[in-house]
Structure 1
Amino acid sequence: MSSSSAKSTKMGVVGLTIIVAVNMMGSGIIMLPASLAKVGTISLLSWLVTALGSMALAYSFAQCGFFVSRSGGMSAYAEEAHGKSSFFMASYTYYLSLAIANVAIAITAIGYLSPFVPWLSAAPVNTCIGVIALLWLTAIANFRGARITGRISGVTVWGVIIPVATLAFFGWFWFDPHLFASAWNVQHKPFGEAISSSIALTLWAFLGMESACANSDAVENPKKNVPIAVMAGTGIAAVIYILSTAAMQGIVPNHELANSSAPFGLAFSMLFSPALGSLVSLLAVVACTGSLLGWQFTIAQVSKAAADHGMFAKVFSAVNSKDAPVKGMVIVTVAQTLISLMTISPSLNQQFNTLVNLAVFTNVVPYILSLTALSAIMKKHGVAQATYVRNMIIVMVALIYSLYGIYASGTDAVFWGAIVMLAGYILYGLRADRFPSPVTDAGDRRRPLSDMP
C-alpha cells in the first residue's frame, strides 16, 4: 500500500473534532439546568470561566498524550514526574471519580423517568432503589463484552445531543430577557461566591475531556491535528452548553426550573407540547442508560489496567470468555450501591449536587498529578523553548482552574475527598513492596531484619 493510501485511512481534523464534541456532550448536561437555577442566571459567567479552563485542560492533555504514548493515560503522565505512587493515586482517584459520576448519571436517568413511573419519586428510598437497580442492570448487561454495549452507547448519546443542540440554536425564538434578568442572583450571594457556587457543576459537564486524545495513532498529523481537534471539540461543546442553558433560563420560570427533575423535558413541554416534552424525557432516559452501559464497562477497564500494572488487586484483572472484567464490575457496582445509600436525600437535585461535587474533586486530583508532569515530560523530549513556554502558560491556566474547581466543590467534598486520598496512600503502602525500591546512596546497603540494631 502506498503512503498516500495509508494516510487516507486515517481520521482528519474535522472528523476528530466531531468525535471529541460528541463524546463530551453526554448525559452530564441534562440535569444541570435545574441545579444551576438554584444559583440563578449568574451561572452563565461560571460557564464562561469553565469553558476557558476546560479548553486549557484539553490542550494540556493533548500535549501529554502526544509525548507519552505508553498505556496508562493520566496515570502514565503523572508517573513521568512523580514516580510510581502517583501512578497509583491517579488511577485510584480517577477510578473513584468514575464510580461516583456513574451514580450521578443513574440519578439523572431516574429523574427523567419519574414522570412516567411516579413511584420512583414518591419517597427518597424509592428513588434510591431505582438508582441501584439501574446501576446493576447496566453492569450485568456488560458481562457479555463491550462490543454491543459500545455500539448502543454510540447511538443513544444522540438522545441527549439532539434536544440540547435544538434548544441551544432554536430556543432563542422564545427567549424572554426579562425572565432571564429577574433570576440573575436568586440567593443574593456576593458576586464571587455566586460564581464559585456553580463552578463545580459546570466543570462536571466537561469531565471526560482527558479521554479525547486516546487514539492519536489513528489521526493524520497528530502533533498538529489532535490539539486542534481537542480544543475545537471542547469549544463546540462549551458553546452548546452555554447557549442551551441560557436559553432555557429565559424560557422556563426559575422556580419551576429549580424544582424540576427533568428540565429539558419541561422546556420542550412549554415550547411545543407535553407529548414532545415526554418524548424528550424518554430520549434522555435512553441516553443516560446507554451512557451508563459504556461507563460501567470503562470503569472496570480502568481498574483492570491498574491491576495489570500491579497497582490494584489481581481480582480486577480477571476476565470471562467475552473478555469482560466481570469481577471488577461487580466490585464497583457494590461500591456504587453503598454510595447511593450514603447520599440518599429527600431532594433528587440535592443528591445529584452532592455526588457531582465529590466526583469533581476526585477527578481533578489526577488532573493535577498528570498536568504537573508536563514540564518534566517536555524536557525529556527536548522540545523547543518557544513550545515549552507556550505549553507551560496554558498548563498554568489549567492548573489554576483545577484548584479553583476543588475550592468551588465545597468543604464537604474536600473533606471526604481528603479522607479518600489518605486512604489511597494507605492502600498503596500495602502494595509498595511489589515495585522497585528507589535508588539509595551508594553506601546504603539494605540489611535483613536480623541484622538491625
Structure 2
Amino acid sequence: MSAAKKMSVGQLTMLTAVNMLGSGIVLLPTKLAEVGAISILSWLVTATGSLALAYAFARCGMLSRKTGGMGGYAEYTFGKAGNYITNYTYGLSLLIANVAISITAVGYIQVLFNIKLDSLQVGLATIALLWITTFANFGGARITGRIGAVTVWGVIAPVVLVSTIGWFWFDSSVYAAGWNPHDKAWYEAAGASVAITLWAFLGLESACANTDAVENPERNVPIAVLGGTLGAAVIYIVSTNVIFGIVGNAELVSSTAPFGLVFAHMFTPLVGDIVMAAMVLACIGSLLGWQFTIAQVYASSANTGYFLPIFAKGNKAGTPIIGMLVLLAAQTALALLTISPNLSKQFDTLVNLAVVTNLVPYILSMAALMTMQKVSNVPANKAMVTNFIAVVAAAYSYLALYSSGEQALMLGGVATIFGYTLFGFVNNRLIRLEAMNNSVPTQTVSAQHLSADPVPVNNLNKATLEVQS
C-alpha cells in the first residue's frame, strides 16, 4: 500500500475505538442491570485487563516481523499450528458474534414496533437478518463499507449523548436503589459481568491487525491501541452508569432496548423510538460489514492453506460467495441450536461463547510476546516490564474465561480441540503447497522445516479496514 493511502494515527485510533463502540454495547445496560450498578467494578476490572491487553498487543505490533496480525504473533512460539488455531478460533468467534448482533437488532425491533415474538419467531427473525445481510454483500465491499460507515453512528451518537447530556436527568436515589439489588459481595459483583463487559471491548486488537495499512506502525500502533481502548473504556463506564441513574433497575432488567428506554425517559417516547430505529439500522449496518469481514477472514486463511479452498472462490466482484453461503449455513444452525424462551438468555449464550473463542488468540499472543522479545533482543529490564503486563493480560483473560460459565467453556473447549483435529488435514496441505512452491518433492519437506518459515500474508482484520473505510 502506498504511503498516500495509509491511515494516520488519528484514523487508526478512531478505527480501533469504533470497532469496540459498535453494536456490542446495545444490550449491555440490560445485562449489567442484572447485577446492578455495582457492575461498575466489572467495568474497572475489564478496563484494566483491556488496557494490559492493548499495551501487550501494541508491543506485539512493534516487534513482529510476520504478517497476519494475531496469527503471526502466535507463530513465534507455537509455529504453524499456533497461527492456524488463531485463525480458526478468531474466525469462529466472528461467526458467533454476528448471530449475537442479529439477535440484538431483533430485540430492538420488537420494542420499536410493539410486537412480542416467541422464542421460535425470534430465532427465525435472527436468521432472516443474517440471510438478508449476507445476500446484500454479494455485490462487493464498496456499498457495504459506505453503509456501515454511516449506520455505526446510530450507536455511537446515542452512547456519546447519554455520556454527556444524560447527567441532567441523573437521579442519585435511582442509582442508589439499583446499586446492588441482589446483595452480592464486592468480589462476586466484580467477577459477575467480566465476560459481558469484555464483549464490548472485542476489537481492541484491530489496530494491530492493520499494521500494514498505517503510517509509521512502530510508533502509531501503540498510540492507536492504547488511545482507542482508553477512550472506549471511558465512554462505556460513563454511559452505562448514567443510565443506572435515569432508569430504575427493575425496568432496565426487563428491557430489550435499553437505549431507546433511556431516551424515552430523558425526552419523549418518540425520541426513544427514533433512537431505537437508529440502533436497529446500526446493527444491520454492522452485520453487513461483519458478514463481509468474516468471509474475507476465511478467504484469506484459505489462500494461505489454513482453510478449505472453497472459502477463497470469489465472483467477478471479488466476493467469496460460496464461502459466505457455507458460513451462513453454520450461523443458521447456531441460531436454531441456541433458541431460548428468553431473548436475553440466547444473547448471553452466544456472547459468552464468542468471548471464549476470541480469548484463545489473545492468550496465545500474550504467551508469544515473550519469544518475540527474545528474538528481537529487547533489553532484559524492558522485557521484564512487558512480560509482567502480558502476564496480567493473560490472567485477566483466564478470569474472563471463568466468568463465561461452564457451558461456554465446555462448548468453546470442544470447538478449539476440534480445530486441532482439523489441523492434521491442514498441515498435510501446507506441506504440499510448500513443496510445490519450492519445486521440492513432498516427501522431503518436513513439518519441522515448514514451521520455521515465515507465514504468508494473512491479515485477520484487514477486511475490517476495507469495509469500514
- Taking the aligned partners of 1:274 and 1:118, their CA distance within structure 2 comes to 12
Residue 244 of structure 1 corresponds to: 239
Kept in 1: contact 2:45–2:190 (CA 8 A): no
1:50 to 39, 46, 53: 46
Residue 106 of structure 1 corresponds to: 102
Deviation of 1:12 after TM superposition, in Å, equals 4.1
Unmatched tracts of structure 2, length 5 or more:
432-445, 450-469
Q: Does the residue aligned with 2:37 lie in a helix, a strand or coil?
A: coil
Q: Is the aligned partner of 1:135 residue 2:124?
A: no
Kept in 1: contact 2:112–2:276 (CA 8 A): no
Amino acid in the other structure paired with 2:89? T
Residue 347 of structure 1 corresponds to: 342
Amino acid in the other structure paired with 1:65? G
Deviation of 1:170 after TM superposition, in Å, equals 1.2
1:433 to 415, 428, 438: 428
- Taking the aligned partners of 1:96 and 1:217, their CA distance within structure 2 comes to 24
Q: Is the aligned partner of 1:22 residue 2:18?
A: yes
User: Kindly tell me: are residues 343 and 315 of structure 1, through their superposed partners in 2, closer, same or farther at Cα, counting changes over 3 Å?
Assistant: same
Residue 443 of structure 2 corresponds to: none
Residue 378 of structure 1 corresponds to: 373
Render the CA deviation track for 1:156-192: whole Å, top value 9, x for unaligned. Answer: 1011000000001111111111211222222233332
What is the RMSD of the two structures over their aligned residues, measured on CA atoms?
1.8
Residue 164 of structure 1 corresponds to: 159
- Taking the aligned partners of 1:300 and 1:8, their CA distance within structure 2 comes to 28
Residue 448 of structure 1 corresponds to: none
Deviation of 1:10 after TM superposition, in Å, equals 5.6
Q: Is the aligned partner of 1:301 residue 2:296?
A: yes
The two structures have a TM-score, normalised by structure 2, of: 0.89
Q: Does the residue aligned with 1:323 lie in a helix, a strand or coil?
A: coil
Aligned length: 434
- Taking the aligned partners of 2:204 and 2:326, their CA distance within structure 1 comes to 26
- Taking the aligned partners of 1:92 and 1:336, their CA distance within structure 2 comes to 15
Q: Is the aligned partner of 1:365 residue 2:369?
A: no
Deviation of 1:74 after TM superposition, in Å, equals 1.2
Render the CA deviation track for 1:18-53: whole Å, top value 9, x for unaligned. Answer: 332222210000111001111111111101111111
2:274 to 258, 279, 300: 279
Residue 446 of structure 1 corresponds to: none
Q: Is the aligned partner of 1:424 residue 2:419?
A: yes
Unmatched tracts of structure 1, length 5 or more:
1-5, 441-453
Residue 451 of structure 1 corresponds to: none
- Taking the aligned partners of 1:250 and 1:144, their CA distance within structure 2 comes to 45
- Taking the aligned partners of 1:395 and 1:134, their CA distance within structure 2 comes to 39
- Taking the aligned partners of 1:203 and 1:195, their CA distance within structure 2 comes to 13
Render the CA deviation track for 1:51-81: whole Å, top value 9, x for unaligned. Answer: 1111111222222223325432211211111
User: Kindly tell me: are residues 72 and 222 of structure 1, through their superposed partners in 2, closer, same or farther at Cα, counting changes over 3 Å?
Assistant: closer
The 5 Å alignment of 1:114-125 reads 114-119=110-115, 121-125=116-120
Q: Percent identity?
A: 52
Amino acid in the other structure paired with 1:318? K
- Taking the aligned partners of 1:190 and 1:82, their CA distance within structure 2 comes to 40
Q: Is the aligned partner of 1:327 residue 2:322?
A: yes
Q: Does the residue aligned with 1:346 lie in a helix, a strand or coil?
A: coil
Residue 88 of structure 2 corresponds to: 92
Amino acid in the other structure paired with 1:75? G
Amino acid in the other structure paired with 1:264? F
User: Kindly tell me: are residues 76 and 216 of structure 1, through their superposed partners in 2, closer, same or farther at Cα, counting changes over 3 Å?
Assistant: closer
2:78 to 73, 78, 82: 82
- Taking the aligned partners of 2:104 and 2:180, their CA distance within structure 1 comes to 25
Deviation of 1:88 after TM superposition, in Å, equals 1.6
Q: Is the aligned partner of 1:292 residue 2:293?
A: no
Which shifted more, 42-51 or 189-198?
189-198
Which shifted more, 131-140 or 372-381?
372-381
Q: Is the aligned partner of 1:389 residue 2:370?
A: no
Amino acid in the other structure paired with 1:262? A
Amino acid in the other structure paired with 1:18? M
- Taking the aligned partners of 1:177 and 1:323, their CA distance within structure 2 comes to 54
- Taking the aligned partners of 2:5 and 2:286, their CA distance within structure 1 comes to 28
2:395 to 400, 405, 414: 400
Q: Does the residue aligned with 1:373 lie in a helix, a strand or coil?
A: helix
Deviation of 1:221 after TM superposition, in Å, equals 3.5
Amino acid in the other structure paired with 2:422? L
- Taking the aligned partners of 2:378 and 2:117, their CA distance within structure 1 comes to 60
Kept in 2: contact 1:99–1:299 (CA 8 A): yes
